[in-house]
Amino acid sequence: MLITRRAAVAGLAGATAARRASAQAAYPTRSLRLIVPYAAGGQSDVVARILGEGLGRVLGQSAVVENRTGAGGIIGTEAGARAEPDGYSLTVGTIATHAIIPVLQPKVPYDHMRDFAPVALLIRQPLMLAVTPSLPVQSLDEFLAYAKAGRGPLSFGSSGIGTSLHLAGEMFKLRTGAETMEHVPYRGSGPMMNDLIAGQIQLTFDAPLTTLPFVQNGQVRGIAVTSPTRLAAAPDLPAVAERLPGFDVQSWTALFAPARTPQPVLDRLNAAVREVWSQPEVQTRLRDLGAEPAAGTAADLGRFVASETDKWREVVREANVRP
């Protein structure tokens, strides 16, 4: 009798495993949910919608964007961490939710390394260093000399404390020793750019998509970009890394699944993202946003998130940034 029961249990377990394997092989059999922890219309939302359209074509199932806003991205990201690990609820994470917030906030209701399985990096986007036209510098070299000499006030604006714009300025300050640089937080890039044009602040680090129109019409002066190499949309502007080797500040967006999502499902998702991102029309749409398509493997993303976390933890500590 005991043998019979053991056989029955083993048979049941085998049947359950077979059903799971069959479901994973057929994945996906229903629509996917892409959780975006920010409001509709923002860059991560637009990228998610481009991805969702492509995944629908590649996977044969719709991918619906769900905007779960609040607490600077924390609420939606926590929802993604707590979702069922079956591959049907995915999180569109960013440099903020998966690198900066975890090292800046004392208590975050998710562990960005433990609670998520990396799927694929989606985009990278450098920032542009721009100065007010009244500042007596015309190039990166002149600006570096001016900043190091402490010749005048250097207030740098950002869209808020703890943003990538803010920490880019803090990292620049640390690397150059420009002690006179002082941070001025704003409620968004719009009012910050108005004050830059008016000369109320002297410089900012912001997305090229935001900054380039003001550079092109002469309202502000572009000095450099924060990616390791020059930007195709502004080839005359040097990379900061040309004068400060290793300087690399790029906003990024990536796709994550809940931890414990089956590996075959993660592999299928990564392959689907890479197929979507390889399409020329998709690459054009992303570059029109001022972003560079990324993709790569899930392992690449895991290593990247770990390195970004270490980098920003060090900047937050050295600059004594407080939320």
pLDDT tens digit at each of 323 positions of the chain: 544 555 554 455 454 444 444 445 689 999 999 999 999 998 899 999 999 999 999 999 999 999 999 999 999 999 999 999 999 999 999 999 999 999 999 899 999 999 999 999 999 999 999 999 999 999 999 999 999 888 778 999 999 999 999 999 999 999 998 888 999 999 888 999 999 999 999 999 999 988 999 999 999 999 999 999 998 888 999 999 999 999 999 999 999 999 999 999 999 999 999 999 999 999 999 998 889 999 899 999 999 999 999 999 999 999 999 87
Cα dihedral: 111, 319, 315, 81 (round 10): 20
Which stretches of the chain are assigned E, i.e. beta strand? Answer: 32-36, 63-67, 89-94, 116-126, 128-131, 154-158, 181-185, 203-206, 221-225, 250-258, 292-295
Decide which of 3.30.70.360, 3.40.50.620, 3.40.190.150, 3.30.420.10 is the CATH code for 32-125+251-319: 3.40.190.150
Tell me the H-state helices in 86-152.
Answer: 95, 101-104, 140-149
Q: What is the CB neighbour count within 10 angstroms for residue 154?
A: 21
The candidate with the shortest Cα–Cα distance to 104, out of 92, 116, 115, 112, is 112
Per-state percent for the chain, helix, strand, coil, to nearest 5: 50, 20, 30
Q: Which residue has the tokens 């006179």?
A: 180
Task: Give the span between the Cα atoms of 89 and 83, in whole angstroms.
Answer: 6
Q: Which residues make up the CATH 3.40.190.150 domain(s) of the chain?
A: 32-125+251-319
Backbone angles phi, psi at 189, to 5 degrees: -75, -30
128-242 CATH fold: D-Maltodextrin-Binding Protein; domain 2 (3.40.190)
Q: Which residues make up the CATH 3.40.190.10 domain(s) of the chain?
A: 128-242
Backbone angles phi, psi at 256, to 5 degrees: -130, 150
